[in-house]
């Protein structure tokens, strides 16, 4: 399983990276894209929307399924990856290069566990 060490992972299979300015990028893990299969569409929030950690921020569609995406942190959407709206296949091809949204003022909340790559690997093994 492809699991970069610099990322953190949520139990609902989002990855997150937070920089020194508390700006976060969020996407879905390799495990998630693989279990979804070919992704055909994503719904993303609008720039300016604010979320609490654990809120639903959009969803990912395959041909026969839909999966919600949850925000691993609280904050305000400062950018969305518009390229994914027209080329959702990028999520399958490069899940960690395909960030969904950028969150400003990202604040970690105790209610959402963020795992290291090795913890997440163990979590996924249990789940499958």
Partner 1 sequence: MYNYLPSTDSQKSEMLKSLNLKSIDELYSSVPHHLIVENLDIPEGISEFELVSKMKDIANKNTVFATVFRGAGAYRHFIPSIVKHSVSKESFVTAYTPYQPEISQGILQSIFEYQTNICELTGMDVSNASVYDGASAAAEAVSMCRNNKRTKALISGTVDPRVISVIKTYCDAADAELVVFGEKDGLSDLDSLVEMLDETVSSVYIQQPNFYGLIEDCVRVSDIISKSGAKFIMGVNPIAMAILKTPGEVGADIAVGEGQPLGMPLSFGGPFLGFMASKRELLRNLPGRIVGQTKDKNGKRAFVLTLQAREQHIRRDKATSNICSNQALCATTASAYLAAMGPNGLLEVAKQCLSKAHYLKDKLTDLGFSPVYKGEFFHEFLTYSPVPTNIVLEHLEKHGILGGLPLGNRILWCATEVNTRQEIDRMVALLAEVVK
Partner 2 sequence: MKLIFEKSVEGRHCASLPKNDVPEFELGDELRRSHPPRLPEVSENELSRHYTSLERRSFGVNSGFFPLGSCTMKYNPKVNEDIAKLEGFTEIHPLAPVNSVSGCIEVLELLKKLLLEITGMDNLTLQPSAGAQGELTGIMMIKKYHQSRNDNRDKIIIPDSAHGTNPATASMCGMKTINIPSNSEGRVDISRLKEVAGEDTAGLMLTNPNTLGVFEKDVLEITDIIHKSGGLNYFDGANLNAIMGVVRPGDMGFDCVHLNLHKTFSTPHGGGGPGSGVLACKEVLSEFLPYPNFFNTSDFYKTEDIPEKSIGRISGFYGNFLVYLKALCYILSLGKTSIPLSAKTAVLNSNYFKNLLSKKYNIPFPNDCMHEFVISMKDEAKNKGVTANHIAKMLIDRNIHPPTVYFPLIVKEALMIEPAETEAKELLDEVAEIFLEIYDIAMNDPEMAKAAPINTEISQPDEVLAARKPVLNFYDEENVDV
**Where on the chain is the footprint of partner 1 (CB under 8 A)?**
40-41, 43, 61-66
Least distance in angstroms from the C-beta of 61 to partner 1: 4
d(CA 12, CA 56): 11
Q: What is the length of the chain?
A: 128
Window 40-69: contact mask with partner 2 (x via CB under 8 A) = xx-------------------x-xx-----
Q: Which of 107, 79, 97 is nearest to 6 (CA)?
A: 97
* Binding status of residue 38 toward partner 2 by CB under 8 A: yes
Chain centroid offset of residue 26 CA: 4
**Which positions touch partner 2 (CB under 8 A)?**
38, 40-41, 61, 63-64, 88-89
């Amino acid at each position: 399983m492809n699991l970069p060490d610099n990322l953190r992972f949520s139990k609902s299979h989002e990855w997150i990276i937070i920089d020194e300015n508390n700006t976060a990028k969020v996407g879905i893990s390799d495990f998630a894209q693989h279990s979804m299969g070919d992704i055909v569409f994503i719904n993303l929030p609008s720039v300016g929307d604010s979320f609490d950690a654990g809120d639903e921020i959009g969803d990912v569609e395959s041909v026969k399924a839909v999966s919600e995406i949850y925000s691993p942190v609280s904050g305000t959407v400062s950018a969305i990856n518009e390229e994914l709206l027209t080329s959702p296949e990028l999520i399958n091809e490069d899940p960690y290069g395909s960030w969904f949204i950028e969150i400003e003022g990202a604040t970690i909340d105790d209610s959402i566990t963020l795992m290291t790559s090795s913890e997440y690997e163990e979590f996924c093994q249990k789940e499958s």
